[in-house]
Chain A
Amino acid sequence: EAGVAQSPRYKIIEKRQSVAFWCNPISGHATLYWYQQILGQGPKLLIQFQNNGVVDDSQLPKDRFSAERLKGVDSTLKIQPAKLEDSAVYLCASSSPQGISYNSPLHFGNGTRLTVT
């Protein structure tokens, strides 16, 4: 079984520029998550999709962050414009091969490390 794929692996941009991250979840997984992990901290949930619908985006800074999951498969997270405090690792995870499941583990990609200068 192929894992969660993320690209790019690293990205360096200047503040006020825009950036996009891509995620391809495990085939058949209905739920997709984007997490932000600042150095030394735990992952913070940004947005959760169930198929192509948003379940939770309460912690997504919507003035600068946007995300979409086209056709309920892969997903893109965008930041525009970026701020210095956006420097972090952006992790994508997927779960729930049978749809909504309270007891499915998350499968993570290796993340995209973003540095904003």
Chain B
Amino acid sequence: SQQGEEDPQALSIQEGENATMNCSYKTSINNLQWYRQNSGRGLVHLILIRSNEREKHSGRLRVTLDTSKKSSSLLITASRAADTASYFCATAPTGNQFYFGTGTSLTVIP
């Protein structure tokens, strides 16, 4: 399988704390993207990091990429209850074909 693996599978934190989730993948990539999925909804794109980038920020999100270790991390700072969702990484080994990981279920407790 070309899918990535997110770690941890589930994460529960208090509102205001930071949340970190990790993604490992198997093949070389053009880019890696992170998506959020609220219960019963489709996935929403959060951030894209290219293979030649090491770190990227967007609002309260920080993504890092280590292509030598084939891994990425997503940090959500100052979490809010509205951040409760599942988070997936998606890799594009070739062209624009995207393969998703298994997801991290984040619960932010008010």
Contacts and interface: CB of A to CB of B under 8 A. Distances in A.
Do A and B come from the same complex? yes
Interface of A: 4, 31, 33, 35, 41-45, 48, 55-56, 91, 93, 95-96, 100-111
19 contacts: A35-B100, A41-B102, A42-B88, A42-B100, A48-B97, A56-B97, A93-B43, A95-B96, A96-B96, A100-B95, A102-B30, A104-B96, A105-B48, A106-B43, A107-B45, A108-B42, A108-B44, A109-B42, A111-B42
A106 B89 CA distance: 12
A102 B95 contact: yes
B33 interface: yes
Give the residue among A42, A48, A102, A111 with the most B Cβ atoms within 10 A: A42
B97 A55 contact: yes
Interface of B: 3, 30-31, 33, 35, 40-45, 48, 50, 88, 90, 92, 95-103
Contacts of B88: 42-43
A26 to B, nearest CB: 12
Contacts of B44: 108
Given A42-B88, A102-B31, A103-B48, A110 B98 contact: no
Rank and list the top 9 A-B pairs by shortest CB-CB distance, nearest first.
A108-B42, A105-B45, A42-B100, A108-B43, A43-B100, A110-B42, A102-B30, A42-B102, A42-B103
Contact of B42 (A4, A41, A96, A105): A4
B50 A103 contact: yes
B4 to A, nearest CB: 8
A43 B43 contact: yes
Nearest to B2: A45
A91 B96 contact: no
Contacts of A96: 96
A33 B100 CA distance: 13
B28 to A, nearest CB: 13
Contact of A110 (B3, B41, B95): B41
